[in-house]
Amino acid sequence: MLSSSVDAVITPWLENLPDGFSASSISQGGGSIHPQKHGGEKGSLDSAVEVGLDQLLSKVIKQYGALDERVAEAKKEDERRRAQAELDRNKRVMTKILREKAFPSEGEAVECYERDDALEFLAMESNLNDPEKPNHGLPEVAVQVAVLVGFQKVAMQMCGAMICPISKKKTKHTWEQVLDYVKDRREDAGLERET
């Protein structure tokens, strides 16, 4: 994706080369930027290529601010697309886990804990574990989240990561936001929003 962004920035520069300068015209004219292939002094550039490069670099220097801004915008757009792709992937994964592992239409649930073990696990994943407190320190809404994911291990890991992200770049969510997220994924999985 970044290469297409770079192409979008570089292409206008290449289209604005001085008259008579293009990759094909330089090549057809016997020019080359390879120091060994132009017939001149070893190690020097073809004079036509040198003039073209000087003119191109002058334009780049004059318009560096605009070019830099376009590259920064392209990077932000690329980061936004990646973040959205990750969100979409996580939604698909959570939906699949709920449908196939936590609440399968056939067979037994997979990797699902008993209630107390599940709450301890979710409390540890969300960095709230306190064995002295009820529900291992989890608020009641977190208990509801655990129930709605069927105490399924990977689903609880994903919920814990939303509360206590590993990366500072990731958004920290509230338990209410996680609860709404889980209800939406249950709906996507063909389950009722509430148990």
Q: Report the pLDDT value the prediction gives residue 130, as an integer from 0 to 100.
A: 84
Given a cut of 70, is residue 33 above it in pLDDT? no
Q: Mean pLDDT, to the nearest integer, of 34-59? A: 70
pTM assigned to the model = 0.63
Helix and strand counts by DSSP (H, E) for the chain: 8, 0
Given a cut of 60, is residue 48 above it in pLDDT? yes
Q: Render pLDDT for 77-113 as a digit per residue (tens, 0 to 9).
A: 999 999 899 989 999 999 999 999 999 989 898 999 9
Written as one letter, the residue type at 29 is G
Average pLDDT for the chain: 82
Start-to-end CA distance of the chain, whole Å, equals 42
Q: Report the pLDDT value the prediction gives residue 2, as an integer from 0 to 100.
A: 46
Could you give the angle at which helices 140-148 and 175-188 cross, rounded to 10 degrees? 20
Q: Report the pLDDT value the prediction gives residue 118, as an integer from 0 to 100.
A: 93
Q: How far is CA 152 from CA 113, 115, 128, 165, 184, in A?
A: 6, 10, 18, 19, 17
The residue to which tokens 């376009």 are assigned? 70
Q: Render pLDDT for 111-164 as a digit per residue (tens, 0 to 9).
A: 999 999 999 999 999 888 787 888 888 999 999 999 999 999 999 999 999 998
Does residue 121 contact residue 149 with C-beta atoms inside 8 Å?
no
126 backbone dihedrals φ, ψ, rounded to 5°: -100, 10
Q: Render pLDDT for 181-191 as a digit per residue (tens, 0 to 9).
A: 999 999 999 88
Given a cut of 70, is residue 6 above it in pLDDT? no
Contacts of 84 (CB under 8 A, 6+ apart): none
Q: Report the pLDDT value the prediction gives residue 28, as an integer from 0 to 100.
A: 59
Q: Report the pLDDT value the prediction gives residue 170, as an integer from 0 to 100.
A: 83
Pick from 143, 164, 150: nearest CA to 192: 150
Given a cut of 80, is residue 1 above it in pLDDT? no
Given a cut of 60, is residue 60 above it in pLDDT? yes
> What is the number of residues in the chain?
195
Q: Report the pLDDT value the prediction gives residue 35, as an integer from 0 to 100.
A: 47
